[in-house]
Chains A and B, each alone.
Chain A
Amino acid sequence: MSNYIPLFLMLVIAFGFGAIMANLSKWIGPKKPTKEKLSTYESGMEPIGTTRDRISIKYYIVAMLFIIFDIEIVFLYPWAVTFDKIGVFALGEMFLFLALLFIGYIYILKKGALQWD
């Protein structure tokens, strides 16, 4: 368990650093708000509409497919560390696993789900 002490410290420091840095300018910076300063900075353009817009559904599908392939990658890790002990059998099993998902990938590619338009 003591292996994880550095990891825990890292977690604490990362969270603390992030929280402090995000708020430091708010705490110690001078505040002289004007109307222009408070408006949304949009590279010099006049902002149109609100920031809280709904985003395109197309990207949602990419995120959804990402989860499935994320799981696939997670399954590769324990396979990779035990692969040398089990041998060709494990290789075949993993190829079967990957082949099935590859079929799905080909299918959605042909169906045009990953096309932006």
Chain B
Amino acid sequence: MFDLIFYIFAFITVVGAAVTAIHRNIVYAAFALLFTFVGVAGLYVMANADFLAVTQMMVYVGGILILLIFGVMLTNRIQSANIVVNAGPKPVVAILSLGLLAILCAAFFGPSATHSEKSKDGKTASVSSWSNYTQQPWAATQWNKDANERILSEKFGAPSEVKTKEGSSGTSVEIGKLLLSDYLLPFEIVSIVLLVALIGATMIARKEPTLEEEALSESLS
């Protein structure tokens, strides 16, 4: 059941992304991006990141996407003939991106990831290839679990929930705690980043009134 839901979300995400990158009509591309964002939010929920899924909907779907569509509406003359010109060397790009995909997959699952991992208590556990572990369900792959426990949980199956208990308040409490303790400085710096973005975006996007317009508005008021 959860597998099915996962694959539905994954399918929505990947197809939406592909349409975004390929479709000639920029409005359709923006609409496909909506599906990608919703699909990614679904994947967040499947990974027990419920608060971030909500944030994803609020920030990406409710904010950034709307802004992008505004940008499309402001910058395109839809009447004019060729709105979007795909003038790239397509085969080269396809080869490059497939190569990138191969590199990423090799980095994630390839033999180069073979090394010995030092566990927390100082014992050196020899991990032949950690990609073995990545294939396991979430619950069976807690990194710092004892090997015994790992084997046991592999043998007898593991509870599907590790962190989130039934009826718990989700991850927002954890995130809030981390935000106000370990990540306090980034949290305050973020407010400065937002301040700069606020002022910068306003100053760049705003059309400065010309001298005549200013004189006109002064004479009117």
Contacts and interface: CB of A to CB of B under 8 A. Distances in A.
- Decide if A and B touch, CB cutoff 8 A: yes
A82 B74 contact: no
Contact of A101 (B187, B194, B203): B194
Interface string A22-61: 0000000000000000000000000000101011010111
Nearest to B205: A61
Contact of A104 (B167, B172, B195): B195
Interface stretch (B62-70, B112-120, B150-158): B62-70
Given A1-B161, A103-B195, A64 B67 contact: yes
B188 A68 contact: no
Nearest to B27: A52
Interface residues of B, number: 56
Contact of B191 (A7, A63, A86, A100): A100
A66 B161 CA distance: 37
A113 B202 contact: yes
B140 to A, nearest CB: 15
B199 A101 contact: no
Interface string B175-194: 11101110010011011101
A23 to B, nearest CB: 16
B210 interface: no
Contacts of A103: 195
B45 interface: yes
A67 B46 contact: no
B169 A81 contact: yes
B127 interface: no
B164 to A, nearest CB: 8
A113 B195 CA distance: 15
Given A65-B198, A74-B59, A77-B51, A93 B187 contact: yes
Contact of A82 (B5, B58, B66, B173): B173
Interface string B38-74: 0000100110101100010011001110110011011
Interface in A69-106: 70-75, 77-83, 85-86, 89-90, 93, 96-98, 100-101, 103-105
A70 B191 contact: no
B156 to A, nearest CB: 19
A111 B203 CA distance: 9
A17 interface: no
A24 to B, nearest CB: 21
A104 to B, nearest CB: 4
B177 A101 contact: no
Contacts of B79: 50, 52
Given A1-B160, A57-B207, 9 more contacts: A8-B5, A50-B79, A60-B205, A63-B70, A64-B202, A67-B64, A71-B63, A72-B194, A81-B176
13 contacts: A1-B160, A54-B76, A64-B205, A70-B59, A72-B194, A77-B172, A78-B172, A85-B177, A89-B180, A96-B188, A100-B191, A101-B191, A113-B206
